Amino acid sequence: MCSCNNCTRSRSLTSNNNGEGSRSSNSYEPWNIWVATADHVAVPQVLFTDPQIASVGFTEKDARRLNINVRAVDYEIDTLQGASLHTDGYTGRARIIVNEDRHVIIGATLIGLQVGELLHPATIAIICEIPLKRLWHAVPSFPTMSEVWLHLLENLGCDEVCSYFSIFV
């Protein structure tokens, strides 16, 4: 798998190596635009420190450097009811980076105990370019840590989120 990784010039991460090996061995799966997105723009990464640091996609600084019109949205994970069930005294923070012109998430960073487990939904949202108005309908289980995604969307502000639904009113 490492040799596949070296040939394809993607980042040398275990998950990418597994994916490259799988894609390279499956001749029936042609290259497509999503392969490049996953390899370069939305590579999930987890630093297994205490607390964990998990990220995928752009940081606010990197997006602004590329002149992307972005907004950073934060949420304190420890305010979730699921966090109190997870660990007493849980502390953590989540941030998404939203492309204001395209209304999609282009980056996410989470810091806290086992936040690496929360990273995959952000990776899917970024790679699939799921519009915020569609993500709003992905209701998380209660009470779980997954509620962080709902609260991040709420922190965008009702005016922005609700304006996407004005065609239905």
Q: Three-state SS across 20-72?
A: HHHHHHCCCCCCCHHHHHHHHHCCCEEECCCCEEEEEECCHHHHHHCCCCEEE
Instruction: Check residue 87 and report its DSSP letter.
Output: S
Are 13 and 71 contained in the same domain?
Answer: no
Q: Which helix or strand (DSSP H or E) is residue 120 part of? A: helix 119-128
Q: How sure is the predictor about 2, in pLDDT bands with cuts at 50, 70 and 90?
A: very low
Examine residue 37 and state whether it is found in any structural domain, yes or no: no
Are 130 and 91 contained in the same domain?
Answer: yes
Q: What CATH number did the domain enclosing 101 receive? A: 3.30.390.30
Mean pLDDT of 153-166: 65
Examine residue 39 and state whether it is found in any structural domain, yes or no: no
Which structural domain range is residue 4 located in? 1-31
Q: How sure is the predictor about 114, in pLDDT bands with cuts at 50, 70 and 90?
A: very high
**Mean residue pLDDT across the chain:** 81
70-85 tens-digit pLDDT: 999 999 999 999 888 8
| Residue among 113, 119, 66, 67 at smallest CA distance from 91 | 113
Q: What is the pTM of this model?
A: 0.77
Mean pLDDT of 57-68: 97
